[in-house]
Amino acid sequence: MSATSTPAHDQPVAEKNYLNAQHTVRSWLLTGDHKRIAVLYLVSVTIFFIVGSFLAGLIRLELMSPSGTMLESETYNKVFTAHGVVMIFFFLIPAIPAVFGNFFIPIVIGARDLAFPRLNLASWYLYVFSGILAVIALCSGGIDTAWTFYPPYSSMYSNSQVTLVIVAAFINGFSSIFTAINIIATIHKMRAPGMTWFRLPLMAWSSYATSVVVILGTPVVAITLLLVLMERAFKLPIFSPELGGDPVLFQHLFWFYSHPAVYIMILPAFGIQSELIANFARKRIFGYHFVAFSSLAIAGLGFVVWGHHMFVSSQSMYESTVFSLLTYLVAVPSAIKIFNWTATLYKGNIRLHAPMYYALSFIGLFTIGGLTGLYLANMGTDIHLTNTYFIVAHFHYVMVGGALTGFLGGLHYWWPKMFGRLYSDTAAKITAIIVFCGFNLTFFPQFIMGYMGMPRRYHYYYFAPEYQIYHILSSLGASLLGVGLILPAIYLTHSLIKGEKASANPWGAHGLEWTIPSPPPTENFTEIPIVTDEVYDFDPVAEHEANLAGKEIELPSESEQPTKVDEPTEAGKE
Amino acid sequence: MAAASHNIEPTPVHHQFEDIEQQNETYVVGMWTFLVTEIMFFGALFLVFTLYRWNYQLDFYKAHEHLDVKLGAINTTILLFSSFSMVLGVHFAQLQDRMKVLASLGLTVACAMAFLVIKGFEYASKFENQLYPGLGFTNNVEHVGGANLDHAQLFYGLYFAMTGLHAVHIIGGIITIGILMFLWLKKAPSVTKDYIPTEMVGLYWHFVDLVWIFLFPLFYLMPKPH
């Protein structure tokens, strides 16, 4: 993949990095180092992702046949609930902020660590503790309320492990609050000299916007779930109509968090996307300020659209009208991002490495996910599409096509930096194509059958066997997607053992993280850098001339080293 | 943050910070961010309370008459005084007057405990009249001032949820101030050389007081609806 040799003065063999600084298990479990905590998080979210994917596989297997013979109704309810809970609370919400945010926010702003290392470690322990509780709940009967925990079913009637799962979700909320507090304090106060707000990489901006959403939204859902718990345990009457409460109030409070929560999942992926597009198009990002502020706009608007989840829940028409209009508004900052990434590609010197494959598929998939959201923002079409597979397809396009693709793109982009090893670029590119095809095959048929009327959360459809062909296509796609997700586990693990050693900057990318050795030393920087220009300071003239001449570019960030940059044609030669 | 263990070297700057100013500013940002989450935490409960009180004005008014305004007022005074002693603690921390800091913080903890004791007596009187929500809630309309029993139960449900959560925060405050006092006792340089940790604990304590300043009028001082 890389033609970059490792300069001897850059990485002496004996040099200590964060991975080999200490070797004991204790040094990992009691570490304050943000990089080690990020690796701990990477391992844990991967485990939960495997669990969640396995549950998704069960769902797709069941729906191959219209008769619903493999799983009983109750089991099926428990399986899709578990899939939702695991994927949302234990993968999507922590995945990017807690892994890449943790690892790279201090490095890209030029700091030695996050502001509060012990809080950071506490956040991981809370995450693991809540994960263990959730797993215990799933093993001891599961939960059948769907991940939304709507009362009065969850508080008065369900005989499954609602209490345990709600406690797990509550504790998990504090884990993400701790990470968010850390990121906000770090970005505010620990930027290196010269690192002004508008020189920050866009990944820092979107992490900041995400953290704002986390600290404003998560406490609300925490207290709401606590009230459901009290209602369940002590019959404290808050949401149950038979006790004088209002179940729709729960939905308002729940979606006040859980709608912004989708921005908690997607905003960090936007940040990674901006890094990938700028660095592989080798061009200053188009409209930096617009991309930065659109993250904040999405975070802000995200808090005033929750009512679109309740168009059919006895909400007044006028309320729905306002929420519908506000929901349309969210499309504006999202579109600004898509247009700006596309405009960045225009006349860029595009290098098609594996991370760029993910970045390009992100643009397409997120656009489909976002535009289908407009059908759901419209009250008229939403009433037809509510609780159909159209919804399922829409949010999977955003969550899998957006957040998961962003996660994989980030993982491939930063893998050489995090572990100091290069993976096979060819294998990674083939995998990216498999993931893209498998994903579309899984979820595109769901748009069609959802539009035709296939309801979600049904485990049989013998009354409408014409949907079977779409379900079979979808299940086939899921198998392909499964293959595409197993492959990275193989070649990335292989790279840890046999991979070529990575240089400090194998992509020729810009950003402070590429100026330090791979893997970084524990203290990140031997001397805190002084920043003199914004991060995407690609020289358009030099890039263009180099491209015309097919020559190697000398990198500004490593100007003292004779570093070669790999050409697209050489990509994947290993 | 307040629980920062003392460093071996005399300087209280942690490794991730360049100097003491940066460390202190970061502490302040972190603490205020945490307080924002706390405001949202209680904010959701205040919203729920507001909605139900709006819906059931007369029943909430009747149910609230069983609350003891006198005890509530005494508790308000105690908490206001504890905030004052906390301010004194921060003031003496700036002057690095160790004994006076310990005395002020000790007074604050004493006030917090007095608050909890009085709150305990209040809760006990509610339990005597079966005013705790749940299946055992009173059937006697007299106990709730003639209010609709379901709505009275809603009122007491919110009363216990909100004052209970506040009491949990008081206990959290006692523990945090306790750790801070322990560090002052041990002459840990992280607190004796730098007043910011003491001020941060103070911020938290003022927040806890402020929540009660809203809870007291909302629950105890309801005007009669027309």
State the pLDDT confidence band at B11, using cuts at 50, 70 and 90: low
What was the pLDDT predicted at B38? 96
Phi and psi at residue A501, in whole multiples of 5°? -70, 135
Query: What is the token pair recorded at B53?
Result: 């009180």
- From the list A181, A185, A236, the residue facing B134 with the nearest CB is A236
Instruction: Using the predicted structure, report yes or no on whether residue B126 has a pLDDT greater than 80.
Output: yes
Q: What is the DSSP letter of A501?
A: B
- From the list A180, A223, A230, the residue facing B41 with the nearest CB is A223
Per-residue pLDDT of chain A (574 residues; tens, 9 = 90+): 333 333 444 444 447 899 888 889 899 999 999 999 999 999 999 999 999 999 999 999 999 999 988 999 999 999 999 999 999 999 999 999 999 999 999 999 999 999 999 999 999 999 999 999 999 999 998 999 999 999 989 988 888 899 999 999 999 999 999 999 999 999 999 999 999 999 999 999 999 999 999 999 999 999 999 999 998 988 888 898 887 788 999 999 999 999 999 999 999 999 999 999 999 999 999 999 999 999 999 999 999 999 999 999 888 999 999 999 999 999 999 999 999 999 999 988 899 999 999 999 999 999 999 999 999 999 999 999 999 999 999 999 999 999 999 999 999 999 999 999 999 999 999 999 999 999 999 999 999 999 999 999 999 999 999 999 999 999 999 999 999 999 999 999 999 999 999 999 999 899 999 999 989 999 999 899 999 888 898 887 887 777 777 655 444 444 444 344 444 443 333 3
Mean pLDDT of the region B18-25: 90
- From the list B25, B43, B157, the residue facing A237 with the nearest CB is B157
A143, A161 contact by CB (below 8 A): yes
CB-side neighbour CA atoms (13 Å) of A283? 19
Q: How far apart are the C-alpha atoms of B128 and A249, rounded to whole Å?
A: 31
- From the list B26, B37, B40, the residue facing A189 with the nearest CB is B26
Q: What is the 3-class SS of A231-286, one letter each residue?
A: HHHHCCCCCCHHHCCCHHHHHHHHHHHHHHHHHHHHHHHHHHHHHHHHHHCCCCCC
What was the pLDDT predicted at A495? 95
Inter-chain contacts counted by CB atoms under 8 A, chains A and B: 112
- From the list B34, B41, B133, the residue facing A222 with the nearest CB is B41
A4, A509 contact by CB (below 8 A): no
Domain presence at residue A397? yes
Phi and psi at residue A188, in whole multiples of 5°? -65, -45
Q: How far apart are the C-alpha atoms of B136 and B126, rounded to whole Å?
A: 12
| Chain A residues lying within 8 Å of B157, measured CB to CB | 230, 236-238
Residue A271 makes CB contacts below 8 A (sequence gap 6+) with A96, A201, A202, A203, A204, A205, A206, A207, A295
Mutate to test the interface with B, among A174, A212, A224, A235 (most CBs of B within 10 A): A235
- Asked if A188's CB is within 8 angstroms of B15's CB, the reply is no
What was the pLDDT predicted at B132? 82
Q: How far apart are the C-alpha atoms of A94 and A123, rounded to whole Å?
A: 10
ipTM of the complex: 0.91
Smallest Cα–Cα separation from B30: which of A508, A200, A66, A186? A186
B157: distance to nearest CA of chain A, Å? 5
B203 contact A CB<8A: no
Q: What is the DSSP letter of A70?
A: S
| Chain A residues lying within 8 Å of B132, measured CB to CB | 234
Query: What is the token pair recorded at B37?
Result: 């989450």
B29 contact A CB<8A: yes
Domain presence at residue A91? yes
Residue A244 makes CB contacts below 8 A (sequence gap 6+) with A237, B56, B148, B150, B151, B153, B154
A286, A344 contact by CB (below 8 A): yes
- Asked if B150's CB is within 8 angstroms of A190's CB, the reply is no
Handedness of CA A509, A510, A515, A521 (dihedral sign): negative
Domain presence at residue A162? yes
Cα A179 versus chain centre, distance: 15
A94, A41 contact by CB (below 8 A): yes
Q: How far apart are the C-alpha atoms of A423 and A488, rounded to whole Å?
A: 9
A511, A275 contact by CB (below 8 A): yes
Q: Which residue has the tokens 């005033």?
A: A304
Q: Compute CA distances B161 → A150, A189, B125, B132, whole Å.
A: 20, 37, 17, 11
Mutate to test the interface with B, among A31, A224, A243 (most CBs of B within 10 A): A243
State chain B's mean pLDDT as an integer. 90
What was the pLDDT predicted at A279? 94
Q: Which residue has the tokens 């801070």?
A: B180
Mean pLDDT of the region B84-100: 95
- Asked if A227's CB is within 8 angstroms of B33's CB, the reply is no
| Chain B residues lying within 8 Å of A21, measured CB to CB | none
What was the pLDDT predicted at A573? 37
- Asked if B134's CB is within 8 angstroms of A235's CB, the reply is yes
| Chain B residues lying within 8 Å of A523, measured CB to CB | 15
Return the ∠ at Cα A305 (arms to A396 and A224), rounded to 5°: 85
Phi and psi at residue A455, in whole multiples of 5°? -75, 150
Q: How far apart are the C-alpha atoms of A142 and A306, rounded to whole Å?
A: 28
User: Residue A262 sits in which domain range?
Assistant: 31-570
- Asked if B26's CB is within 8 angstroms of A181's CB, the reply is no
B33: distance to nearest CA of chain A, Å? 6
A219: distance to nearest CA of chain B, Å? 5
A278, A342 contact by CB (below 8 A): no
| Chain A residues lying within 8 Å of B56, measured CB to CB | 244
- Asked if A190's CB is within 8 angstroms of B15's CB, the reply is no
Residue B132 makes CB contacts below 8 A (sequence gap 6+) with A234, B126, B156, B160
Smallest Cα–Cα separation from B17: which of B26, B9, B6? B26
B12: distance to nearest CA of chain A, Å? 14
- Asked if A113's CB is within 8 angstroms of B40's CB, the reply is no
Smallest Cα–Cα separation from A335: which of A366, A307, A380, A308? A366
Domain presence at residue A225? yes
DSSP string, A540-556: HHHHHHHHHHTPPPPPG
Residue A436 makes CB contacts below 8 A (sequence gap 6+) with A357, A361, A365
Q: Which residue has the tokens 């009512």?
A: A307
**Amino acid at residue number A339:** F
Smallest Cα–Cα separation from A115: which of B20, B23, B191, B197? B23
- Asked if B36's CB is within 8 angstroms of A223's CB, the reply is no
- From the list A114, A189, A243, the residue facing B22 with the nearest CB is A189
Instruction: List residues of chain A with CB under 8 Å from any CB of chain B.
Output: 106, 111-117, 119, 177, 180-182, 184-186, 188-190, 215-220, 222-224, 227, 230, 234-238, 243-246, 249, 253, 256, 523, 528
What is the count of structural domains for chain A?
1
A309, A250 contact by CB (below 8 A): no
Domain presence at residue A311? yes
Mutate to test the interface with A, among B13, B19, B26, B39 (most CBs of A within 10 A): B26
- CATH tag for B45-220 (out of 3.50.50.60, 2.30.110.20, 1.10.357.10, 1.20.120.80): 1.20.120.80
Q: If 0-12 CB within 10 Å is exposed, 13-18 middle and 19+ buried, where does residue B47 land?
A: middle
Domain presence at residue A69? yes
Smallest Cα–Cα separation from B123: which of B166, B157, B160, B152? B160
B65: distance to nearest CA of chain A, Å? 20
Q: What is the pTM of this model?
A: 0.91
A214, A260 contact by CB (below 8 A): no
- Asked if B157's CB is within 8 angstroms of A185's CB, the reply is no
Q: How far apart are the C-alpha atoms of A476 and A470, rounded to whole Å?
A: 10
Q: How far apart are the C-alpha atoms of B164 and B170, rounded to whole Å?
A: 10
| Chain B residues lying within 8 Å of A528, measured CB to CB | 18
What was the pLDDT predicted at A550? 62
- From the list B22, B40, B154, the residue facing A244 with the nearest CB is B154
Cα A246 versus chain centre, distance: 34
Greatest Cα pair distance in chain A: 77
B85, B93 contact by CB (below 8 A): no
Q: Is the peptide bond before A152 cis (omega within 30 degrees of 0)?
A: yes
Smallest Cα–Cα separation from A90: which of A150, A31, A147, A28? A147
A486, A53 contact by CB (below 8 A): no
Phi and psi at residue A353, in whole multiples of 5°? -90, 170
Q: How far apart are the C-alpha atoms of A440 and A455, rounded to whole Å?
A: 20
- Asked if B154's CB is within 8 angstroms of A237's CB, the reply is yes
B25 contact A CB<8A: yes
- Asked if A219's CB is within 8 angstroms of B33's CB, the reply is no
Domain presence at residue A545? yes
Q: What is the residue extent of each domain of chain B?
A: 45-220
- From the list B25, B51, B134, the residue facing A234 with the nearest CB is B134
Mutate to test the interface with A, among B27, B37, B47 (most CBs of A within 10 A): B37
CATH value at residue A181: 1.20.210.10
Give the DSSP H/E element, type plus range, for residue B202: helix B196-220
Q: Which residue has the tokens 């995998």?
A: A431
Give the 3-state secondary structure of residue A421.
strand
**SS3 breakdown of chain B: % helix, strand, coil, rounded to 5?**
75, 0, 25
Neighbours of B100 (CB within 10 A): 15
DSSP bridge partners of A421: A501
A98, A182 contact by CB (below 8 A): no
- Asked if A185's CB is within 8 angstroms of B33's CB, the reply is yes
Q: What is the DSSP letter of B96?
A: T
Instruction: Using the predicted structure, report yes or no on whether residue B9 has a pLDDT greater than 70.
Output: no
Domain presence at residue A23? no
Residue A265 makes CB contacts below 8 A (sequence gap 6+) with A88, A92, A93, A96, A399, A402, A403
pLDDT digit string, tens, across residues B131-158: 888 777 877 777 778 888 888 888 999 9
What was the pLDDT predicted at A551? 53
Q: Compute CA distances A278 → A65, A69, A281, A434, B105, whole Å.
A: 45, 50, 5, 24, 54
pLDDT digit string, tens, across residues B72-90: 999 999 999 999 999 999 9
Q: How far apart are the C-alpha atoms of B103 and B181, rounded to whole Å?
A: 9
| Chain A residues lying within 8 Å of B51, measured CB to CB | 246, 249
- Asked if A244's CB is within 8 angstroms of B153's CB, the reply is yes
Phi and psi at residue A421, in whole multiples of 5°? -130, 150
Stretch 53-82 of chain B: residues touching chain A, C-beta under 8 Å = 56
Mutate to test the interface with B, among A113, A118, A234 (most CBs of B within 10 A): A234
